[in-house]
Amino acid sequence: MTDASSAGAASRAVPSRLVVLAGPTAVGKGTVAQCIRRDHPDIWISVSATTRAPRPGEIDGVHYHFVSDEEFDRLVEHDGFLEWAVVHQAARYGTPRAAVEEQLREGRPALLEIDLQGARQVRERLPEALMVFLAPPSFEELERRLLGRGTEDAAERARRLETARAELAAEAEFDITIVNTDVESACQELVELFRSGSARGRL
């Protein structure tokens, strides 16, 4: 846990850069991003748009921008997304372009928490971004986390596990791998990447 004064000091030490965090379903990307938001408020975190319905406890504009299919289509047509994709053969997700570009112009460190398809698109558009893969300790642990979440039915869980196997195979495409054994540790490792510059390896 980091108190407000030490969080502020750490945040002032963070240089401007764009970090993309991706990984398989249920690996804990959202939880790590929440930790960054809580303890390192000077790191801006993009809020994705999605066409899926909110899960219990999710707040529009905080967890996601929940939009209709028609609104999503309009944004795609007007090049309003830095990246977008159909995820788990179901809902669409996208990163609003204008918000990211504004933060980078202002020199603020920015984090995109997105899926694998989106990360590949960002790499094409912004090759200077540092690509970080969040991995589970094992596939068995990933399956346990997905089952324990209890937010999907059996068919959806099976679909997400199938997707996760393919996503895990993409680890080599990324600059850095962080193994999410513990959320606080993974959060701190991610913050250190903002400070220390890019490298390639497994943390």
Model confidence pLDDT, tens digit, residues 72-81: 999 999 999 9
Gap between the Cα atoms of 59 and 98, Å rounded: 21
CATH topology of domain 4-202: Rossmann fold (3.40.50)
Count of CB atoms situated within 10 Å of the CB of 127: 8
For residue 198, the model assigns a pLDDT of 52
Burial class (CB in 10 A: 0-12, 13-18, 19+), 40: buried
| H/E run at residue 42 | none
Binned at pLDDT 50, 70 and 90, residue 7 comes out as: very low
* Extents of the domains making up the chain: 4-202
Tokens encoding 152: 């999907």
Q: What is the pLDDT of residues 22-74, one digit of tens each?
A: 999 889 999 999 999 999 999 999 999 999 999 999 999 988 999 999 999 99
Computed over every residue of the chain, the mean pLDDT equals 85
